[in-house]
Structure 1
Amino acid sequence: MSTNWFCARVLAELYPQVEVDASVLYVDNGDVVASAGTSAGIDACLHVVRRIWGARAATAIARRMVVPPLRSGGQAQYIAQPVPDGNEDPDLADVMGYVLENLGSRLDVGQLARHAHLTRRTFDRGFRDATGSSPMRWVLGQRILQAQRLLEDTDLSVDAVASQVGLSTGVTLRPHFRRLVGVSPQRYREAFRLTEAEAR
């Protein structure tokens, strides 16, 4: 279970049989989803929407709420600054845009740092300070989000989806997808299409 870091010690003391993780935004244990606070609760709700109705629905809701569409449950609670909107940190916003346009390509921290005209160390530190995540963890999250969209909208094989999002093969995609989404890519596609058919 996750809760706000401020309440974690009390929760752990009151319920010693419950494993409390105060370092993450939310935890998904299947029937129970617990979040760390107000904004993390929004992240957890978007996670549930994404799991049931798909990435497009979650992204549409996030856009309407003006919040990030995907912050993974394992992301740290402590964020030094809000995610930049393009006005506050144009270099970082430019790098994020570059990543989204090139998800199918090989990307690494050195390349992203060069794109931002920064040393690797300075870029890595600035990215973590601004987003609460390492650059490559953020890239992986965007790759998985795009994989969800492709699984929803196309009949591409899992291998083809993996290739399009820069994860080479289905063998590489599957463990990352399962860890972040909670199910395999094939199961996600089946569940999404079943839910979509029931909604008609």
Structure 2
Amino acid sequence: MHRIVALALPDVVAFDLSVPAQIFGHRDERDRYDFTVCSEHPGPVPTTTGFSIEATAGLEALTSADTVIVPGFFPLDAPPEPVLNALRGTRARMVSVCTGAFALAAAGLLDGRTATTHWRDANELSQRFPEIDVRPDVLYVDEGEVLTSAGVAAAIDLCLHLYRIDHGADHAARVARRMVVAPHRSGGQAQFVDRPIPEGTGLAQTCAWVVERLHEPTTVDDMARHAGYAPRTFARHFRAETSMTPLRWLTAQRLLEARRLLEATGMSVDEVARRCGLGTAANLRLHLAREAATTPTAYRTAFRGSTIR
């Protein structure tokens, strides 16, 4: 029997906890998994959605776990030292969902590793824990004995991935059918993220200027001139404020505009490519495949859909 322990930290994200509970704690899985919820102390744990859940065990449950799952929590302060010591002391497979990565990071379990979290919190994770290679653009990262997922629904993808590792693709597909979800999305598939314009910084005006001219062949050198910096100085400041290079940000903004046009208009792929500054349909396909692991047609189909009236 594989023992899975979910560590609920206050205020735990109820959805993040419910996903492993449904996959591993469901009555259909009781001959394969023993699922327990623990906290620093047994008893009620507040959630981010206004109700409490009951943790039936304390930190001692971690010592006998085969897999430890840390759901997201908020605020993102470091957990108390007894919790961190308990995380460091277990030899279990370690898994975080969404902002649960901040707990693993605070315990030093992600040092020197690649990890992910919800795209909105990826920059903070990277800044607070520079030893981690944070990937804000994937659904989950499998580093063997340590696995991390992006936010919200990506928890389903990671937990099905764990089930697939434990029992094979056929059994994982059966669980997916029970949950009425797609049986497999690869971890490398991108989170569909927004790349906001930096606020309250010296670069905000330049970034806004670029966004207004995405249909033009604006370059990083053009951005540097607008900001009043030499190109290398501009690149250094930009990376410090946004945790990405100017070229990556510019490409991301073009792709964000392409996605908007694919969702909201009936423009051809060629016209969308021209309007967002990527030039050609082939170039749009290349960048969209690299950044979001999809095609313009597939993206449009997935995100336009039909309107519920």
User: Structure 2 length normalisation: TM-score?
Assistant: 0.42
Which residue is equivalent to 1:69?
A: 194
> Structure 2: which amino acid aligns with 1:95?
T
Which residue is equivalent to 1:114?
A: 225
Gaps in structure 2 of 5+ consecutive residues: 1-94, 115-131, 141-146, 156-191
More strand by share: 2
Which residue is equivalent to 1:178?
A: 289
Q: CA deviation at 1:33?
A: 7.8
More helix by share: 1
Which residue is equivalent to 1:53?
A: none
> What is the rounded CA distance, in whole Å, between the counterparts of 2:262 and 2:215 in structure 1?
15
Q: CA deviation at 1:9?
A: 5.3
The answer to whether 1:34 aligns with 2:136 is: no
Higher relative contact order (CA 8 A, sep 6+): 1
In our comparison, the structure showing a higher alpha carbon Rg is: 2
> Structure 2: which amino acid aligns with 1:147?
A
Which residue is equivalent to 1:7?
A: 109
> Structure 1: which amino acid aligns with 2:265?
T
User: Closer, same or farther in 2 for the Cα pair 1:153/1:28, shift >3 Å?
Assistant: same
Task: Report if aligned partners of 1:70, 1:141 keep a CA contact under 8 Å in 2.
Answer: yes
Q: CA deviation at 1:85?
A: 1.4
CA RMSD of aligned residues (A): 3.4
The answer to whether 1:85 aligns with 2:187 is: no
The answer to whether 1:104 aligns with 2:215 is: yes
User: Structure 1 length normalisation: TM-score?
Assistant: 0.63
> What is the rounded CA distance, in whole Å, between the counterparts of 2:244 and 2:265 in structure 1?
30
> What is the rounded CA distance, in whole Å, between the counterparts of 1:124 and 1:10 in structure 2?
25
User: Closer, same or farther in 2 for the Cα pair 1:84/1:147, shift >3 Å?
Assistant: closer
> Structure 1: which amino acid aligns with 2:199?
D
Identity fraction in percent = 37
> Structure 2: which amino acid aligns with 1:133?
M
Which residue is equivalent to 2:179?
A: none
User: Closer, same or farther in 2 for the Cα pair 1:33/1:101, shift >3 Å?
Assistant: farther
Q: CA deviation at 1:28?
A: 2.2
> What is the rounded CA distance, in whole Å, between the counterparts of 1:130 and 1:162 in structure 2?
28
